[in-house]
Amino acid sequence: MFGLFKKSDSKKTDETKIAPDTTSSDDNARPTGWAARLRAGLKRTRETLGRQLNSLFKVGARIDDNLYEELETILLTADVGIDATTFLLESLRQRVTRDALSDASQLQQALRDALIELLKPLEVPLDVHHHRPFVIMLAGVNGAGKTTTIGKLAKYYQQQGKSVLLAAGDTFRAAAQEQLAVWGERNGISVVSQHNADPAAVIHDAYSAARARHIDILLADTAGRLPTQLHLMDEIRKVKRVIQKIDPTAPHEILLVLDANTGQNAVAQIKAFDDTLSVSGLVLTKLDGTAKGGVIAAIARARPRPVRFIGVGEQLDDLRPFVAADFVDALLGEIERE
C-alpha cells in the first residue's frame, strides 16, 4: 500500500536539510517586503552589473562604438547570452536614434526599458482554477531544487486558500522523500509516498487521493535526471503518460526547475526537457547565490517559456511569481552618479 501521511519520524541527514522556518529569530534581519527580498536576492548579479554599468554610463561620456563594445562584454559576463545581448544592443541603438540620445547616462533608462521589453512575454502567471485537482508535475536535473520548490509552492498555494497534496515521485532517492515529508509536516499537508515503488504508480495513487478528497492542487515530484540519461528521460515521459490515462487533461502544468547557477546551460536543459515533456513553465531558483541572473534574458531569446516563479532565498516565502519590471529594477538597481 502507498503511504498517505502528514508527519515523518525519519531522522534528517545532511541531504535532507531544509530552510529554517520563517518564524525563526533570524527573520528580524531579513528584508520584510518582497521587493526588498528580491533586491537582496539579486545582489550578486546586481553588484557585477551595477558596478560596471556605473563606470560605463557616466554623465558626459559619449555614446559610440567603444561604449557598445564594452556594454556587450558586460552583458555577456552576466550570462545574458549572445542572442539576447545582440537584441539588447540593437534595441539601444534604435532608441538612441529615435530619442536623439547623446549622453551615456541616458542609456540607463533605455537599457531598463529594453530589458523589460525582452522579459515581459515571460511574465505569465500560472492559472490553477480550470481543473480540480490541478496537477503540477515538476522536473529538473539533480540539485536544481525541485523538492524544496515543491515545499515553497505548497506554502504559496496554501496562502491563496488552496488545499494541497504532495506526491513523492522521486522514489529512488530516499532523502528526497524524507525532505518532502518534512515540508509536508511543516505546512500541515499530506504526502503520498512509497519507497522503491514505481514513480508513475505513486503519482497515480496521489491523483486518486486528491480527487477523492477534493484537493485543489496536486504537486508531483519526480527524480532528478540529466538530459543525457535517455532511460531516465523515457521514465519521466512514462510518468506523464500514466497521469494522462487517468485524466487526459493532466498534468495541467509541467514546471521545469532551473538552478540559476548553471548559467547558459539552463537553455540546453529547457530544450532537452521540452523535447521530452513539452514544458509549460519554468521556475528559476537560487538567484541569491549567483552572479548569473542575466540568464533569464538568454532564455527569453533562445527558448522562451513562461517563468512562473523565481526563488531568491531559502525561506518558505522566498518563491514568488515572476514580474519583469520588478526583476529588472532589482537586477539593475540605481546607478550611482559621480
pLDDT tens digit sequence for 272-305:
999 999 999 999 999 888 878 889 999 999 999 9
For the segment 250-255, the average pLDDT, to the nearest whole number, is 96
Cα–chain-centroid distance for residue 154? 15
Encode pLDDT of 36-92 as tens digits. 888 888 888 888 787 788 889 988 899 999 999 999 999 998 889 999 999 999 999
Residue 165 has pLDDT above 90, yes or no: yes
6 pLDDT above the threshold of 60:
no
Whether the predicted pLDDT of 145 surpasses 60: yes
At residue 31 the predicted structure's pLDDT band, cuts being 50, 70 and 90, is: low
What pTM, to 2 d.p., does this model score?
0.87
pLDDT of 137: 96
Burial class (CB in 10 A: 0-12, 13-18, 19+), 335: buried
Q: Beta-carbon neighbour count of residue 194 at 10 Å?
A: 17
CA distance 123 to 109: 20
List, in order of start, the domains of the chain with CATH numbers.
1-6+34-338 (3.40.50.300)
> Which three cell numbers mark 6?
502528514
C-alpha span between 95 and 204 (Å, rounded):
53
